[in-house]
Structure 1
Amino acid sequence: MLVAERHRKIVEVVNEKSSVRVTELSKIFQVTEETIRRDLEKLEIENLLRRSHGGAVSLQDEQSEVSYAEREITNSMEKKAIAIEAVKLIQPGDQIVLDASTTAWYMAKELPDLPLTVITNSIKVAVELSKKESVKVISTGGMLLSKSLSYVGPLAERSLSMYHVNKAFISCKGVHIEGGLSESNEWQALLKRQMMAISDQTILMADSTKFGVRTFAHITDIQEVGCVLTDFKIDESYSKALEEKGVEVRTVMVQEKTK
Structure 2
Amino acid sequence: MKLYVSSDMEGIAGVVSWDEVNKGQSEYVWACEQMTREVQVVCETAMALGSEKILLKDAHDTGRNIDISELPKGVLINRSWSRDLLVMMSGVDEGYDAVIFTGYHAGAYSDGNPLAHTINATSMKWIKMNGVLVSEFMMNAYTAAYYKVPVIVITGDQAICQEAKRLIPEITTIAVKSCKGGACTTMTGNHALAAIEEGTKIALKKFKASPSACMLSIPEKMTFEINFTNAALAYRASQYKEVELVDACTIRYSTTDYYEFLRMFFFAC
What TM-score bracket applies, with the shorter chain setting the length? Answer: 0.3 to 0.5
Q: Which structure: greater helix fraction?
A: 1
| Higher relative contact order, structure no. (Cα contacts within 8 Å, ≥ 6 residues apart) | 2
The TM-score normalised by the length of structure 1 is: 0.36
Structure ID, larger Rg: 1
The TM-score normalised by the length of structure 2 is: 0.35
